[in-house]
Amino acid sequence: MKIDVLILGGGPGGAAAAMFLLREGITPVILEQDEFPRFHIGESLTGEAAQVLRRLGLEDKMNAMENPVKHGVRVYGTNATTTWYVKVSSRDANWNLSDSTTWQVRRSEFDKMMLDEAVARGAKLMHGTAIKALQDEKKGLVGLRVRWPDGKEEDISTKVVLDCSGQSTFLANQKITGPKYMGSYDKQVAFFTHVRGAIRGAGTTGVEAKDNTLIFYDKKFHWAWFIPIDKDIVSLGMVTPRAKFLEKKQTPDEYFRSEVYNINPEIGRRVPKLDLAEKVHVIPNYSYQVRGFCGKGFICLGDSHRFIDPIFSFGVTVTMREGEFAAPVIKQFLEGKLDDRENPFEELQMAFEKGIDNLEDMIDLFWEQPFAFATFVHQRYTDQMTDAFAGRIYESEHQPSPSIMAFRKLLKRTREYDADDYSVPIGSRYHPERAPLWAPDSPVEGTEEWIGRGRGLGLAEA
């Protein structure tokens, strides 16, 4: 079998990339191992995720599915004594800011809609599991070995692999990419479920809109989310340090029930009773960054090259936007216009890297300096903060903005893309051994010890 573009993974990243490629006249093949619908976490979309869906002509479909409409995110501070609100916004061609909306989704249904739509528009879907990356010394990645559901294996040749395998990070694990490094938030665990009978906002727009995302903050690395995903059900999740969970020696269900109300008193008012419509799921918040994630014959999108922290719901946004940026470049590549380059997708890689670096600065500042962060949202950089929250994070979108530059100043951080140690990600620079993380047995206990030790060693950047 010989094809132009093989998309590894049929989640929203893979499906959106397929639709953008089809627009360029390229017919991709999507390889997916699961039968959809299947459960997935990550239920809130940002403003720019909605814009991508609108550009794909999916707005009517999203409304017909009766996905809850999100007007903004409300954050409740410690003890719920203060709150702040960031509205969903969009920018027009002249960069004028206006209020906008996006959607909350039940991922099993949203992901299925996206994949079905990609297939309806012409993408080919194959069910199977990638088991090996096939390399050629000169040409780079030339295909994947696939195991079909009947157990037979087959080598599939392709000109480009789009890795949309999410946190499985297939190409990084196959060492096709550069090293995979541990990120800053590697010792937390998320517990989440779906609840009935939660009390939403009473309004139809603005801060009180009934289907807004609520975030409950307790203290560093302790927080919870509240995301309405249909007219009855709210996704309720809690993140705490893994050590705290291990200490309690409880099942995830017991731990969730006993701890969630301690995060913030507002949770008790919003969820008077834990009437569960789904079991308590548990996933580690395992943050990482892959270097060299684009190269000869491959591009990694979304979680397959980087995952930071789920707090502001950027996952689906980033992967779909990267797919949109990648499609026209893949077209140039297939036309032979990038043949002279060592890494035909280098510019793409740098653009993605810079975009997510901006997000990383934002998330780090939220955790490190919540007071400064809240001041920026309330007073100093209100419009720019809505840009970042909406997912407008790329150079073509006036980033890094003065607000991002202020984050870096507060974090005592610079981003020098041509510096020698740039290949070691910010989150890993404090690591005493600067070791790439190929296995989950890091020599260091946890992020805070890690950063603490790094500072002690004078490794923090000037």
Partner 1 sequence: MEVPQKLKDYLNEARAPLPPISDPNEPLHIDSLGLIRLVSFLESDLGVRVEDDELLADNFATLGAIQKLLESKTPAGNTN
Stretch that binds partner 1, among 28-36, 105-113, 321-329, 404-412 (CB under 8 A): 404-412
Using the rule CB under 8 A, is 15 a contact of partner 1?
Answer: no
Stretch that binds partner 1, among 78-86, 139-147, 414-422, 430-438 (CB under 8 A): 78-86
CA gyration radius, the chain: 22
Rounded CA-CA distance 18/16 in Å is 5
Stretch that binds partner 1, among 116-124, 127-135, 365-373, 424-432 (CB under 8 A): 365-373
Cβ nearer to partner 1, comparing 84 with 286: 84
Rounded CA-CA distance 397/91 in Å is 9
Shortest Å distance, C-beta 361 to partner 1 = 13
Using the rule CB under 8 A, is 382 a contact of partner 1?
Answer: no
Using the rule CB under 8 A, is 274 a contact of partner 1?
Answer: no
Rounded CA-CA distance 23/25 in Å is 5
Rounded CA-CA distance 455/402 in Å is 26
Using the rule CB under 8 A, is 410 a contact of partner 1?
Answer: yes
Contacts (Cβ under 8 Å, ≥6 apart) of 150: none
Judged by CB under 8 A, the number of residues near partner 1 is: 17
DSSP 8-state secondary structure symbol assigned to residue 35: P
Which residues, numbered 200-239, are part of the site for partner 1 (CB under 8 A)? none
Cβ nearer to partner 1, comparing 173 with 369: 369
- For residue 21, give the nearest of 245, 332, 298 by alpha carbon: 332
Stretch that binds partner 1, among 29-37, 76-84, 312-320, 341-349 (CB under 8 A): 76-84
- Considering only residues 64, 409, 419, 452, which one is a binding residue for partner 1 as defined by CB under 8 A? 409
Stretch that binds partner 1, among 260-268, 285-293, 322-330, 364-372 (CB under 8 A): 364-372
Three-class DSSP category at 452: helix
Rounded CA-CA distance 128/322 in Å is 24
Using the rule CB under 8 A, is 81 a contact of partner 1?
Answer: yes
How many other CB atoms are there within 10 angstroms of residue 60's CB atom? 9
- Considering only residues 175, 196, 231, 380, which one is a binding residue for partner 1 as defined by CB under 8 A? 380
Rounded CA-CA distance 248/461 in Å is 37
Shortest Å distance, C-beta 220 to partner 1 = 12
Cα angle 192, 194, 195 (rounded to 5 degrees) comes to: 120
Using the rule CB under 8 A, is 65 a contact of partner 1?
Answer: no
Which residues, numbered 32-61, are part of the site for partner 1 (CB under 8 A)? none
Spell out the alpha helix ranges (H) of 335-445: 346-368, 370-375, 382-390, 402-410
Footprint on this chain of partner 1 (rule: CB under 8 A)? 77-78, 81-82, 369-372, 374-376, 378-380, 406, 409-410
